[in-house]
Amino acid sequence: MTVLVLIEMDGAEAADASLRAVTLARGLGDVSAVMFGAAAPAVGGVTDVYLIDPAVTGGYAPVAWARTLAGLVTETGATAVLAAGTERGNEVLAHLGAITGLPMAANCVAVRAASDGTHELVRHRWAGLLLEDAVLEASVALCTVATDGIAAQPDEPGPAVVHEHKPELTDADLAVRATESAASAGGVSLATARVVVGGGRGVGSADGFAPLEELAELLGGVVGVSRVVTSEGWRPHRQQVGQTGTKITPELYLACGISGAIQHIAGCAGAKHIVAINTDPGAPILAHADYAVIGDLHQIVPDLIAALRAR
């Protein structure tokens, strides 16, 4: 049985999120990778690669990518199509679902082919705060794989057969295309920062973030905020950590004046260490933190800055 996996590229390499999808797909059959790129990077556990010259679609064109997958499903008789649960992966598989009339299960963490031809799966709801056990009844299973649900288990890249594939596309398939502009200017990104100093309602005002900025700079990190802070307009939305903002994975998340609504926890649960500074010893964040200092951040943060400067 053939399983198609859409591989997204990270530079010249396959993106980590796509390797997680390959790991999950290997439990379902022989994996054929589908790549839109000039050259195919070696991916472990893959028997075939369908390589599509990016000039054919003129860059990222979600409908054209989905139409390509639809054609390959027919050509290979694939029983499942997987992609990473990224913006693009979810988008392309939703288009594929709409084109084929098939259901699509987003952000799966487990998929198993049952003997009756259905697929039993576990998927994220509430950005992973809940899990759903579900049965997917479809001639072809369309699933995206949660980017933080399972670890990629790389296999030694073996000899995969590379097929240079030319999809049959119409002008309508290519009507919506991404025009990319240059990468946004430098600075440490929230998603990849090693230290994030978080500020919530307890910071109290837009001005109150100055000490948090100073502390973040001292620690070589960045400031992240809770949803209430962006809703109040104290800080821009791009600094929001949480379900509707950014998921972070730092070594340290120092949560200052953040009570810990679960939508916020959905964004910071990937931190290796969480330290909370909060006046309320009963705040929900304490059930997710490794350490806590009970007290007013307006005193503790300046004291911490002074102590770090004195070292």
Closest CA to 45 of 146, 152, 144, 163: 152
CB of 210 to another protein, least distance (A): 19
Helix (H) or strand (E) holding 109: strand 104-113
When the beta carbons of 121 and 160 are compared against another protein, the nearer one is 121
Tokens of 242: 């949480």
- What minimum distance in Å lies between the beta carbon of 159 and another protein? 30
Contact in structure between 258 and 199 (CB atoms under 8 Å): yes
Give the nearer residue to another protein in terms of CB position, either 22 or 271.
271
Q: Are 226 and 248 in contact, with CB atoms under 8 Å apart?
A: no
User: Residue 10 forms beta bridges with which residues?
Assistant: 13
CB of 156 to another protein, least distance (A): 27
Say if residue 180 is exposed, middle or buried (CB neighbours under 10 Å; 0-12, 13-18, 19+).
Answer: exposed
In terms of CB distance, is 156 or 180 closer to another protein?
180
Q: How far is the CB of 305 from another protein (least distance, A)?
A: 10
Provide the greatest CA pair distance for the chain.
68
Least Å distance between CB 2 and another protein? 20
- Would you say 42 or 178 has its CB closer to another protein? 178
Write down the least CB distance from residue 162 to another protein, Å. Answer: 25
Gap between the Cα atoms of 195 and 254, Å rounded: 8
Residue 77: count of CB within 10 angstroms of its CB: 10
Q: Considering the complex, state which of residue 22 and residue 269 has its C-beta at the smaller distance from another protein.
A: 269
Which is nearer to another protein, 74 or 126 (by Cβ)? 126
In this complex, which beta carbon is closest to another protein, that of residue 213 or of residue 303?
A: 303
Q: Please give the Cα distance from 175 to 269 (Å, whole number).
A: 39
**Rounded to whole angstroms, how far apart are CA atoms 14 and 6?**
10
**Residue 257 C-beta: closest distance to another protein, Å:** 15
Whether 69 and 182 have beta carbons less than 8 Å apart is answered as: no
